[in-house]
A and B are shown apart, each in its own frame.
Chain A
Amino acid sequence: MNATIKRAAVACMVMFALLMINVNYLGAVKAGDYSTDNRNKRSFYARYGVDRGWITADDGKTTLAKTIDTGDKTFRYEREYPSGRMYAHVLGFFAPESARGIELNENKLLNGSDPDLVVGRLIDFVSKKPPKGASVDLTLVPAAQKVAYDKLRASGKRGAVVALDPKTGAVQVMVSLPTYDPNDLAAPDKAKVAQAYNKLAEDDTDPLLNRVTEKTYPPGSTFKVVTAAAFLEADRSRDPETTVPAPQVLDLPDTTAGLPNYGGAACGSGEVTLRFALERSCNTPFGQMGMDLGWDKMREESAKFGIGEPIQFELPTADTTIGPDEETAALAQLSIGQRNNQQTPLQMAQIASAIANSGVLMKPTLINKITDPGGSVIEELKPEQLTEALSGEVADELKQMMVSVITNGTGTGAQIPGVTVAGKTGTAEAGDAPAPHAWFIGFAPAENPETAICVFIEAGSAGNDATGGGTAAPLARDVMQAVLEAK
């Protein structure tokens, strides 16, 4: 019988070999699929087993997101956002199955899995301590953020406020309304969070949307600074005193319709200086400038301001565009920020920032510094130049004209006592809706800009007669003042 016993032994050997091969296949090949299956709760538990790094602002003095050790065995660490709704769109949230905002973008550092933190993680692992993440300090200025949030919320309007340091690109204020409470989405309870999230997602006012970066709107007259920049750059013999034609209605070729000024009003006496056209925000001179410059020139200048260019930012950003190369009539309309011209408030703040910074466009960022659990800094804000949008000279001329807008133009609502403010208002038609979007971009102090701002009030939330000068400018003033005072 020994021969058959030996064969039976071979059969047993084959069975064990098959089991071992299969176990290896499972552990090495299939494991990846299994770990991402949402019925596998391990990744869910793991999220709450990390002493997640805090998010702060103002060099750590203000806590925006913190981790609480609950002592619970399954969900030991919970996330809390002390300031609730005010920073929601910047911080995002850390939910059981997803994350958003800084929580998502800096996740690897916050949860300690970043390669930069490998040594600390190894020590934690060996000493059986829960892993600890790095803390992230943001560039936001809490005092100004609070002013922006409180004032915008008190007005009951939907919109966005974003302020940047023109010299570094550091974001000082980022508020989007309506907003939500990230604490509702951070509980370690999938069902509860899903319910809260769905309620937010179904809300018609779109509270989850970060209006600063995630959606584009027609920028209206604020875009005229770009047209003016292209106009000045195209021929260096031009300056703010160069006269431009300013009819009451601009004839648009190949259409019966014309391009009127705001409210159909006249603009000077048919021929005005560039400065005057910008102060009064006349449409017809800028429409004409755009048609004369052509789409390519307009596109080139906008690209230097970052429009239509991919942008590296900590938060997701919508693609901006001045619109496609269509008929000449379209060119006139995009030159005054209408038609298919679509910008984010962040992009418009970038334009103000470039003009403030003598034409140099900085890369925007929210991260001031990142500190590992041991307290040493592993990443720090290094101002990064994106493009030279304008020559210093043209930037200066634009700056002068924008100061005029505030002193004796449409932007008087943004005046700050004792500070020279530069700015541009915008009132943009929003598709077929009767109510317009109200915009303001600007910076202060004009001599040595410390903050560049964009305020955007969404159409319909501020009445049918909302204007950039009346609705957006005063808010911009308050926020800029708060930033300057906090400095």
Chain B
Amino acid sequence: MTTAPVAEAPAVPMTAKRRGAQLVMLAFAIVVVMGAYASVGLGIDGQIPSGTFTYGLGLAVLMFAAYGVLAKWAPWADPLLLPLVTLLNGIGLVFIYRIEQTGQAGASATNQLMWTALGVVMFSATLIVLKDHRTLQRLTYTMGALGLLLLVMPLLPIIGEDVNGASIWIKIGPLTYQPAEMAKMALVIFFAGYLVAKRDVLALAGRRLFFIDLPRVRDLGPVLITWGLSLGVLVLQKDLGSSLLVFGTFIAMLYIATQRTSWVLIGVLLFVGGAVLAGQLFGHVQDRFEVWLDPGNPEFYNRELGGSEQLMQGLFAMGSGGILGTGLGQGFPREIPLSFSDFIIAVVGEELGLTGLMALLMVYALIVERGLRTALAARDPFTKLLAGGLSFLLAWQVFIIVGGVTRLIPLTGLVTPFLSAGGSALLTNWILIALLVRMSDAARRPPPQAIQNEGLTQVFTR
């Protein structure tokens, strides 16, 4: 290896693989999870649960397997991503186990561990199969079609399934699946490919209004289509969360691709307008809004559907957690309806307190930061856009659900990535992380060494 003079240092500093550090962090994450698991048992009945070792070992085996795949097929990948995700997934398992102990129907740590295993398989498969993520760019329209299909699947007869008033499930035999989870990722890939191709056109300035360059009217097409799609999801499936998630991510990516603030404004205006209109026309949107403004109102609290009981119980739980929390196993998660799903963050807030919540948010923020860093370091626009889009998707999803549960914004149902019980989301998110890992590997991999030691130019060979 030639030692490059300082002046020739590339824009992104050449990093080491840091595999040792990654291994240590991974082991640490597993130790934290095992400790938490034992603590649940101690909190509930003063005994370390018999399964601590089995669960811990299970998780360890899975994660070291994932690490092995990563080390072999993406050796230059960001060393933080896998340990951080392991920590989240593990903490999620611990809390689902904890909620299962209260006998809340639907919470099953064994199921979640099984889905985690499948998630790791998908993670590995993605890394092994997808040698170069830019292959995805060629599948732009396939992904778009796939995303659309997945989104409308729950509305189809026979396989569509209504749960709790929202039609976001499909059922094939004994298996239920939330296709929106996969759809959102397919759509992000589509957006990335599409926007890279069209960004020059979309960035063209039309008329100027005040200090904002408006885009040309004929370029509004894609935005309007996505907007219509999101509102369709909102109205037909009553899935506010996914609608907000997809549309928000699209606007963010549009902005990243075109550098046009006007797109953001148009997007926000369109969505707010659409949401207000939907609110006028459809009761459930308005319900959410009322509940957000005054959740303590007994009228809303006692409302059978779309009431504020779950929200209030979540707030009670987080309030009682205080700064340090009640301790694992010592809160009352069964007071919160469906606490293992959308409201798992409230259970974390109760048992681990403010401190635990802040730490958890920090872990999410770190993952997002690593993703965005990958986007910055990436060498081609598609990768930049895809990594940026996926990272934003993750941040946006955490914001929507945690903000909803903590009453920062109106509550719209979404799972908390990696924490909530639910296989569909877990699988998708593991694939999402695999994509980020793949892209970070590409971004951090040292450029081919055919560098002319002249001036500041670098030659890339592809």
Chain A residues near B (Cβ < 8 Å): 1-9, 11-13, 15-16, 18-20, 22-24, 26-28, 30-35, 37, 39-42, 45, 128
Check B315 against A26 for contact (C-beta < 8 Å): yes
Instruction: Please name all residues of chain B whose beta carbon is closer than 8 Å to the beta carbon of A2 when the two chains form the complex.
Output: 376, 384
Least CB distance from A166 to B in Å reads 49
Q: How far is the CA of A15 from the CA of B43 in the complex (A)?
A: 33
Chain B residues near A (Cβ < 8 Å): 42-43, 46, 252, 255-257, 259, 296, 301, 312-313, 315-316, 318-323, 332, 335, 349, 353-354, 357-358, 361, 364-365, 368-369, 372, 375-376, 381, 384-385, 388, 391-392, 395-396, 398-399, 402-403, 406-408
Least CB distance from B33 to A in Å reads 21
Check A45 against B318 for contact (C-beta < 8 Å): no
Q: Which residue, of A13, A27, A34, has the highest number of chain B Cβ atoms within 10 A?
A: A27
Q: How far is the CA of A13 from the CA of B392 in the complex (A)?
A: 11
Check A45 against B395 for contact (C-beta < 8 Å): no
Instruction: Please name all residues of chain A whose beta carbon is closer than 8 Å to the beta carbon of B403 when the two chains form the complex.
Output: 15, 18-19, 22
Check B358 against A20 for contact (C-beta < 8 Å): yes
Report which of B46, B312, B323 forms a contact with A39, defined as CB distance below 8 A.
B312
Check A20/B312 contact, CB under 8 A, given A1-B384, A8-B252, A12-B391. no
Query: Which 6 pairs of residues, A with B, have the shortest CB-CB distance?
Result: A34-B319, A31-B319, A40-B316, A12-B395, A27-B354, A15-B399
Report which of B42, B257, B361, B365 forms a contact with A23, defined as CB distance below 8 A.
B361
Least CB distance from A191 to B in Å reads 16
Check A11 against B252 for contact (C-beta < 8 Å): yes
Q: Which residue, of B257, B313, B385, B388, has the highest number of chain A Cβ atoms within 10 A?
A: B388
Check A30 against B255 for contact (C-beta < 8 Å): no
Report which of B42, B361, B372, B407 forms a contact with A8, defined as CB distance below 8 A.
B372
Closest to B196 in A: A1
Q: How far is the CA of A45 from the CA of B315 in the complex (A)?
A: 17
Check A23 against B375 for contact (C-beta < 8 Å): no
Instruction: Please name all residues of chain A whose beta carbon is closer than 8 Å to the beta carbon of B319 when the two chains form the complex.
Output: 26-27, 30-35, 40
Check A41 against B335 for contact (C-beta < 8 Å): yes
Check A22 against B252 for contact (C-beta < 8 Å): no
Least CB distance from A385 to B in Å reads 45
Instruction: Please name all residues of chain B whose beta carbon is closer than 8 Å to the beta carbon of A1 when the two chains form the complex.
Output: 256-257, 259, 375, 381, 384-385, 388
Q: How far is the CA of A41 from the CA of B312 in the complex (A)?
A: 12
Check A37 against B354 for contact (C-beta < 8 Å): no
Closest to B296 in A: A37
Q: How far is the CA of A27 from the CA of B326 in the complex (A)?
A: 13
Closest to A10 in B: B372
Check A16/B256 contact, CB under 8 A, given A24-B354, A27-B321. no
Instruction: Please name all residues of chain B whose beta carbon is closer than 8 Å to the beta carbon of A39 when the two chains form the complex.
Output: 301, 312-313, 316
**5 A-B contacts, Cβ less than 8 Å apart?**
A5-B256, A23-B357, A32-B319, A40-B319, A42-B316
Check B406 against A19 for contact (C-beta < 8 Å): yes
Instruction: Please name all residues of chain A whose beta carbon is closer than 8 Å to the beta carbon of B259 when the two chains form the complex.
Output: 1, 3-4
Q: How far is the CA of A39 from the CA of B358 in the complex (A)?
A: 26
Report which of B43, B353, B406 forms a contact with A22, defined as CB distance below 8 A.
B406
Instruction: Please name all residues of chain A whose beta carbon is closer than 8 Å to the beta carbon of B301 when the two chains form the complex.
Output: 39
Report which of A8, A19, A28 forms a contact with B402, defined as CB distance below 8 A.
A19
Report which of A6, A18, A24 forms a contact with B376, defined as CB distance below 8 A.
A6
Report which of B322, B332, B381 forms a contact with A31, defined as CB distance below 8 A.
B322
Instruction: Please name all residues of chain A whose beta carbon is closer than 8 Å to the beta carbon of B365 when the two chains form the complex.
Output: 12-13, 16
Check A19/B398 contact, CB under 8 A, given A12-B392, A27-B349, A41-B332. yes
Check B408 against A18 for contact (C-beta < 8 Å): yes
Q: How far is the CA of A15 from the CA of B332 in the complex (A)?
A: 29
Closest to B406 in A: A22
Check B396 against A15 for contact (C-beta < 8 Å): yes
Least CB distance from B247 to A in Å reads 15
Instruction: Please name all residues of chain B whose beta carbon is closer than 8 Å to the beta carbon of A30 when the two chains form the complex.
Output: 315, 319
Instruction: Please name all residues of chain B whose beta carbon is closer than 8 Å to the beta carbon of A45 when the two chains form the complex.
Output: 332
Report which of A9, A18, A42, A128 forms a contact with B332, defined as CB distance below 8 A.
A42
